[in-house]
Amino acid sequence: MRKLIKGIYLTILPACSLYLAACNQNSTSQKNTTMADSTQTTASAFEKTIDGKQTHLFTIKNKNGIIATITNYGGRVVSLLVPDKNGKLTDVVLGFDDVEGFEKSTERYYGATIGRYGNRIAKGHFKIDGKDYQSSINNTPNMLHGGKHGFQEVVWDGKMIDSSTVELTYLSKDMEEGFPGNLNVKVIYSLTEDNSFKCQYEATTDKKTVVNLTNHAFFNLNGEGSGTILNHLVQIDADNYLPVDAGLIPTGKFEKVAGTPFDFTKPETIGKRINDDNVQLKDGKGYDHNFVLNKHDLSTPIATVVGDKSGIKMEVFTEEPGLQFYSGNFMQAKNAMKRGIKDEYRTSFAMETQHFPDSPNQPQFPSTELKPGDTYKTQSLYKFSVVK
């Protein structure tokens, strides 16, 4: 049996000492307290009945003062507060002040757990053991992130395990969005004592199916509402990426990043080459491509991002073979986020650890099939620190 392994860890390490130091400064402490309290006072804004199920906002924290909020509507990370270079708690994840903001958003994926299949499947069509399946089309002419009613649209069953851990579960029924098998999914979000925001995925099925789970947090390491992410420094440990057609489906080839705007083997700002005369950038409207990672065993970071204003550094570790780097190309200032801030063009980025897009139709890619009796698991790590 081929063991599929996946998940997400967000780790925050030395930054916690900056937060503790800041608590000794009255003005900064007051700001930190206000921000922390605000994450709790908004809980009532996430109480609603959707599709006959109750939504909630869960607040988890650790002993060092790191705070995250998660809603069971879509399994979403609503906020993640980490210290910047001055010790100020900074919300590095875009989200809304209430559940209705997520419901009405023109961007469906803010902070969401994505499934059953993250990224795209060409024309929504795939075969398993020679049998044809058709998932719903929601990114014409293709299926994107699980279809019209993917995991971002459902209300998960949620419960607090302890003050730093929340568990979300969902049963995706046989043929939901065209995918075979009753799929039992579990996601555990937790904040650990070493300041890690950890997300673990598990899934089992009673029929052979395809699975590719990920999380779609939209990050701005300078803080939500702080402006463009084009001056963030990015490094990705990938010698190859997957070129795509005009519909953002991989062509099936691996292309070298060397000599192209996709070469992030050394730190470069997101904006330095994003407007180059390059057909891949034109098709993607910027960066919206899967990178073929050189390593994916959690031993070394596969990507690093640094906020130019905050000094917040995020290192990404994963057991996944691919990383989808998205530069906020389709943000159009149509949504009022937390505190009424608009989601302006390219004011956030995503780094989704995952298997490759369209893998069910491209046998040369690592398989995303899950069989009855096997357990799908995954983990990735987003490790936060600061650069002075």
Q: What residues make up the domain containing 50?
A: 7-229+315-386
- Top mean-pLDDT range of 57-66, 143-152, 192-201: 143-152
Tens digit of each residue's pLDDT (9 = 90 or more) over 290-332: 999 999 998 999 999 999 999 999 999 899 999 999 999 999 9
Q: What are phi and psi of 174, to 5 degrees?
A: -50, 125
Residue 184 in any domain: the answer is yes
How many structural domains compose the chain?
1
Structure-token pair, residue 358: 């369209």
**Residues 107, 153, 224, 352: which is the catalytic one?**
352
Model confidence at 189, in pLDDT bands (50, 70, 90)?
A: confident
Model confidence at 41, in pLDDT bands (50, 70, 90)?
A: very low
> Which pLDDT belongs to residue 381?
86
> Which pLDDT belongs to residue 375?
98
> Which pLDDT belongs to residue 33?
33
Predicted TM-score of the model (pTM): 0.88
Tens digit of each residue's pLDDT (9 = 90 or more) over 254-296: 999 999 999 999 999 999 999 999 999 999 999 999 999 999 9
Alpha-carbon distance values, 369 to 117, 280, 365, 366 (Å): 11, 29, 12, 9
111, 145 Cβ separation under 8 angstroms: no
Structure-token pair, residue 244: 């795509």
296 a catalytic residue: no
Lowest mean pLDDT among 39-43, 175-179, 234-238: 39-43
> Which pLDDT belongs to residue 249?
97
- In sequence order, which residues have a C-beta less than 8 Å from that of residue 41 and are 6 or more positions away? none
Residue 299 in any domain: the answer is no
216 a catalytic residue: yes
Residue 159's DSSP bridge partners are: 167
Alpha-carbon distance values, 129 to 94, 159, 209 (Å): 40, 37, 10
Residue 248 in any domain: the answer is no
Residue 292 in any domain: the answer is no
Tens digit of each residue's pLDDT (9 = 90 or more) over 44-59: 999 999 999 999 999 9
Which among 38, 67, 92, 36 is positioned nearest to 166, based on CA atoms?
A: 67
172, 185 Cβ separation under 8 angstroms: yes
Alpha-carbon distance values, 176 to 102, 155, 171, 182, 280 (Å): 22, 15, 10, 9, 33
Query: What percent of the chain is modeled with pLDDT above 70?
Result: 89
Tens digit of each residue's pLDDT (9 = 90 or more) over 64-111: 878 999 999 999 999 999 989 999 999 999 999 999 999 999 999 999
CA 261, 145, 213, 227: dihedral to nearest 10 degrees?
50
Lowest mean pLDDT among 14-18, 223-227, 305-309, 339-343: 14-18
**What's the distance, CA 289 to chain centroid?**
14
Instruction: Tell me how crowded residue 334 is: count the other CB atoms within 10 A of its CB.
Output: 11
- 360/368 Cα distance (integer angstroms): 7
Mean pLDDT of 134-155: 97
- In sequence order, which residues have a C-beta less than 8 Å from that of residue 384 and are 6 or more positions away? 10, 11, 12, 13, 15, 82, 92, 195, 312, 313, 314
Residue 257 in any domain: the answer is no
Which among 78, 88, 94, 92 is positioned nearest to 15, based on CA atoms?
A: 88
- 313/377 Cα distance (integer angstroms): 27
pLDDT score of 31 more than 70: no
> Which pLDDT belongs to residue 62?
84
**Residues 56, 216, 289, 355: which is the catalytic one?**
216
> Which pLDDT belongs to residue 65?
79
Model confidence at 30, in pLDDT bands (50, 70, 90)?
A: very low
Which among 59, 62, 63, 16 is positioned nearest to 37, based on CA atoms?
A: 59
* CATH assignment at residue 137: 2.70.98.10
Residue 134 in any domain: the answer is yes
- Computed over every residue of the chain, the mean pLDDT equals 89
Residue 39 in any domain: the answer is yes
Neighbour-count burial of 89, counting CB atoms closer than 10 A to its CB (0-12 exposed, 13-18 middle, 19+ buried): buried
Lowest mean pLDDT among 194-208, 301-315, 368-382: 194-208
Residue 347 in any domain: the answer is yes
> Which pLDDT belongs to residue 109?
98
